[in-house]
Structures are given as C-alpha cells and as structure tokens.
Structure 1
C-alpha cells in the first residue's frame, strides 16, 4: 500500500511543530516559497467568473500559448499536442497509466514516481545516477539494468527523466541525456521528461531528451516552480506530433476525463497569460533564479563545511548532501540510516529535511534531500525583499536561518572539533 507522500508529510509535520511555537528550520518541502506578482493576480481576478467546464485538454487560448512557449524554446509545437491538468503530478500519473510496460527511473528520484507506479501495479526498475548530476540514470548502468530486468521477466516500457533534477538540484549533461535517449530508442522505451524545473536553471539551459528522441518523448511541466504557483495546480504536457503521440493523447484524454475533467477555467487564463512570456513574467523568473541560486549555494556551503559531500546546486532549490564520510562519528550516536539522520536533525536540532530513502536510496545510505526555498521569509514583505535583494543571504531572516543551520550541523558533529 502506498503511504502518505514523504514531501507532503514532512511539510505537515513541520507546520504542526511551528504552530505550537517550536523553532524548526523548514528544509523539507519543495515549495517555491515566493509571493504571487500583482500582474498575475490581476489575470486571476478577471478570470474568476469563468465557472463552466471546459475541454478536457484545455482551452484553445491556453493550448495556443503553451504551443508557442515550447516553440520559442526550440521545440516546434502545435496546439493539438498540448494537454492541461490540475498540476503536473496527475499528468505524470495519467502518462504512466496510459503507456505500456514497467517504469524505469533514476535513483534517487522524486518520491511520487515510484508511488504512482505502485498504485498502477507497474513494475519498477531503479538505476543509479552518475556522480556529477542526478535526474537521469547513469548511461553506463542503464543498458545492463534493462537487460537484467528483461532476463528477470520484467517489461521495461517507460523511462522517466527529471531534467533539471529533484532531489539533487542539478542538471544532467547534454552527453548523458543524449546517451540515455539513444538507449531508450534502442529498447523501444517511451520517455517521460519531467521538465518542471527547466525555467529555473541557475545559468544557461537544461538539455532535453526531446532533442535526441522526439518520436517517443513526452514533456511534462507546470507553473509551480518557475512562478511559485504550486497551490494553483497548473500543469501541462506536450506529446509528439505523430501517430504514436496522437494515440497517446487519446488515451490521456480518456484518463483525464474520468479523473479531473479539466483544469479550472480561471487557471487556464493564468496559464495562457504566463506562457505567452510577457516581459514582466520573464523578469520575475529571472529574479527567482538568482535568489534560488544564491540561497542554495549558501546552504550548500554549510553542509560542505562540516564534511558532507554534496553536488553544487545548478538548478532550482535543492541539495543532496551525503554524510558517508562521517559514518563512524554518526554510528557512535546510533545514527545508521538516512531515516535516523533526518530524525535526529529534526528532533534534536530543529532542522527538517527528508531522508534519501524517501527517494529510493538504500536505508543505509546517509543522504538527505534539502530544500532551501522556504528560507526566503515568513511574510509577503520578507519574500518580496528577498526576491529583490542583491544580497539575500545578508537579510536578517535568511542570515539567522543560516546560523541556525550552522549551529545544528556543528552540534551534530561537535565531537570532531569542526565548530566554526
């Protein structure tokens, strides 16, 4: 039986603790942590009277805007290739349901992929990521994993990539994306490319499997990360413009019509506006990228300073520190698993993070998923100041959080004499 999503559970746990006055540093939940700009609120207010059901795939305006949005990003797209949903999560579920075969995912991977496969009775094949970035299986391991799965009677049919990646906060290389896309073609796999973080790459752009395997790659995205509209639940997907894609769209519509009917009409109006890339939206997203990058780097520095090994963040607002080098010291404190480590950090030091085991890692791996985006402030005023600041880590509420984190991490390893 699939359990309560680990990311949602930690968010509820920490909010319960803070509601009782307990001091907790919330590094457990991947909410973008920023306010809604007035120009987006104005669109929603104007669209609020739209209370009728719309087409399952989305309004023509929203689909046109999404198609143009993709086309401007070097993925020529027509409106009939687009489907909207209340968030990208149900779209991912619908895709896993509509496509044949077992699911292949990187290890670690976002918590819901495996859970959705389990709900659908699909087999799961996990393939470790490489040393430099997460989000795609290590190409050197993927072919062997597929051959082993087939020999064991499994039926790999879907390869799910996350570029940029949650949980590691990194962007896979062009070389690795190309390699896994070519392997997917060789084995006849469908590729789902979850690109919801593609607009918040700190510098440059993220590669896409669509470039190398356009005939069977589906892209999912949404506005929860780039525009911090997670609670508004706006997701969309692009299918290929071929017979395979049209058949898949028919199956997606079948699933959608029985589960969510249609994205709420006011949210479709918001999507049509945001995806048209007006100047104010692009400027806003540019500021968010800078903020995410600066705060994530500052938090990264704190983990590295106490001896954790951690890939530098290159997109979004996540880190994935590994405490293996501190295992002997942690074992002396009865910390043997990532669950133990996350529990001690929360209960003893008030630092809320998620264990790597929630993302498919072995329990014994001392890895954590750290989200940095809820450090931007607890009020709208603080969050706006964080967004507009040239030096957000010097703002009192962020600086205090970094000190709190530093004290907690140093407390965890105090006996090693690494206090700063």
Structure 2
C-alpha cells in the first residue's frame, strides 16, 4: 500500500509564540523560568469589558464582514479624537490586527518593505503571500520606521531588477525597540511613499502606551492620508489579546474604498466575521469611557516604571540600552561584552546568547535575528510585562501601586535578572563599563 508523503511547505512557529511555549514547558518540568520573551500586556482585563462581553454572549450570528456598525462608529471616533477624522465606512474589523495585516498585504500585492528590526510577523506574513519582504534598516533610535533614504534606494533597486515593492510597514511606537520615530522621519517617509507610489501600513497598536502621554505619535495618516492604512486592536493597551479583535482604518480618497473592498473579499473567505460578542465589547472599549481611560493610564505608568527598571539592570551588567519610550520592551545590546562572551561561553551570535540564557538560567528572551537583524548582532528583545505578577491579584496591585518595581514579586524578578547577568559575566575577572543611552 503506498505511503502518503505529500510535499508540505514548512512554516515555523512564530518566535514569540515559540519562546512562550518553551517557558511553559520548563515550568511544567519544574525548572526555573523567567518569562521575558512574549509580548503580552500582563495586566487583567478590566471588569467593564468582561461585563460587556457577557451581556452579548448570546449573539451567535455572523454579522457584517466589515464588523458591526456600532464597532466601526466607535473606532472611527477613537481615531477622530486622535486627529485623524474617520468615516466609519472606511473602518473594518477582524479577529485581531494580525489577520488584518495579512489580508492587507495580500490585497495590496507585491513585495513589502519592512523596518529592520521589526516585529517577527511582518516578514513571515509577507513570505506567506508569496511576494516576500524587503528589509530596510532604521536609523539609530528611530525604531519602527525604515530610513527614508534607504527605502527610496531599495525601491529603485528592486524596480531596476524587475521586482516591485508596493507597500511599506511602519510601527509607531515600535516593537521590538520600545522607541518612537520622530515626526520629521515619518514626514520624509511619507514623501518617499508618494514619490514611489507606495501604500503605507501603519501598525499603531502601541499608540496609547507612550510612557510620556503628552508626547504625540506622528501617524503617517496625518501626512499621507490618501495612501495610509492604520491598524490597532485590544491586545496591548487593554490586554485582551486572547479575545482576538483588531480594526483597520482605510486611506482617505478613492483608494480607500477600493482597498476596503479587496480586504473584505479576502476576509469573507478566511474569517467571515469577527466574534459578535467581542465586537460588542470592543465598541464599548473604543468609545473610551472614563473607567477604561483611567485603566490604560495606570497600565502606561506600570509599563514605564518596570521597563525602565529592567533596562537599568541590563545597563548595570554592561549592555548598551536605549531608554524605552513606549510599551513594555527593552532592546539591550551586548556588543560591549562580545569578547567576554566569546572567550568565556563560546557565544558569537545572538541566538547562541539567548539559547544560553534560556538553557542555563531559564531566562526567555528573543535574539535580534528573530526581528530581521544579522545573526551576529548581540541585541535582544526583553518583554517586561510578565513580571507584573503570577495572578490577577498581584497584577491589580501592580497597576495601583505608585512604585510597582518595589513590590516584592516584581523586585524579585528584577533581582533575578541581575543575578543571571552577573553570573554571565563573572568569568571575565574585570569590571565592565555600563551605559544607558539617552
């Protein structure tokens, strides 16, 4: 009898989910584990969202592919309050911003320019569309937005070779670096996009988690509204990642409805409609009632305090760390320790370093290579939000405390980071310079 042996296209598990599962396995096996790899917001879902979800639990119909009228109107109001007047007819929702991003890439077609470094799924999704991603380096301290000059050069080179870059992705503020690109850079990128007829996909899911709430986020939709799509969701500012709800704002002008229709066609064949009860709760969330505004403000302060404390611990160990500006990520660079890591541990790549940290110490972080950087880069993304507590009682206490880094369970995690890093460099026998950049 013939053996079934079909040819299957290998698709690896997303690195962020893979590190989360690796940490879970260690814990099941009774091994020490410090979860700093997975970008989960780490705070409880607000009771009002649970109430709204429960109130709509009996809604079992599919509903419109674009999402309910109430949700689209609420999301339009959310963007309008942020200086982006929005027609609800140009808003559509999906089961998370992640599938919306994939549907957008599929609808736009062609290669996608992405920042280097950038969130792991951009390149993976571009590959799944069959077109692929073109990495473009960011300027130092300007994570999330490709260098406009390098982007222009990449587009020209691609077209000279018979290939076509049709879109560019930006992340404002950025994952993995936790920084925000300046307005001037965003404006220059918009000029390049106009010159070369690129669609801009602006992932702004961390927009409401700027550590300085008075610092504006320069959305390209304000400078190139005719070609910019904006996406966001519930997973970061409201910690409802498991609810899977995202929204997208299509461009203004004639291109917006055409792109909307294309994405809706793709959505109709993949997810049909986002879950109706979650849409009901999301409409409440995007309406921004006072209780949720206060909740997000508390979460912003918690993220800022703990991320800064984590960055300090890495800096004290000799890594270069730019001061985090948003979300719950630090992006330390161990290049100052490169010689020691090679001589004492045989480590020459970022993946070797993060594997050592996981297998020897139980610290789960992701190497810069997972975000598109060269393999020999010794940078890593450290996600700090799972330090907030082992249960919702501890997490609620962290949200309410004016000095959360001093809480015993968070302080213990910070001290464990320092212990691991001190042991990592102990074999050097000499003092290492520390630096915390700007």
Partner of 2:95: 86
Structure 1 residue 57 corresponds to structure 2 residue 66: yes
Partner of 1:66: 75
Partner of 2:7: none
Provide the rounded CA distance (Å) in 1 between the counterparts of 2:30 and 2:408: 20
Aligned pairs (5 A) from 1:8-407: 8-203=17-212, 204-332=215-343, 333-407=345-419
The ranges of structure 1 where at least 4 consecutive aligned residues each deviate by more than 6 angstroms after the TM superposition are: none
Provide the rounded CA distance (Å) in 2 between the counterparts of 1:372 and 1:62: 31
Range 374-383 or range 317-326, more displaced: 317-326
* Alignment: residue pair count: 420
Say whether the 8 Å CA contact 1:338–1:364 is kept in structure 2: yes
How far 1:18 moved relative to its partner? 1.1
Partner of 2:15: 6
Structure 2 gaps, min length 5? 1-9
TM-score by length of 1: 0.98
How far 1:309 moved relative to its partner? 1.2
Provide the rounded CA distance (Å) in 1 between the counterparts of 2:192 and 2:109: 17
Say whether the 8 Å CA contact 2:230–2:250 is kept in structure 1: yes
1:159 is paired with a residue whose SS is strand
How far 1:39 moved relative to its partner? 1.3
Deviations 1:269-298 (A, max 9, x none): 111100001000100000000000000000
CA-atom RMSD in angstroms? 1.2
Say whether the 8 Å CA contact 1:221–1:235 is kept in structure 2: yes
Provide the rounded CA distance (Å) in 2 between the counterparts of 1:44 and 1:193: 28
Provide the rounded CA distance (Å) in 1 between the counterparts of 2:391 and 2:88: 39
Provide the rounded CA distance (Å) in 1 between the counterparts of 2:151 and 2:65: 36
Say whether the 8 Å CA contact 2:190–2:224 is kept in structure 1: yes
Provide the rounded CA distance (Å) in 1 between the counterparts of 2:76 and 2:223: 19
How far 1:323 moved relative to its partner? 1.0
Structure 1 gaps, min length 5? none
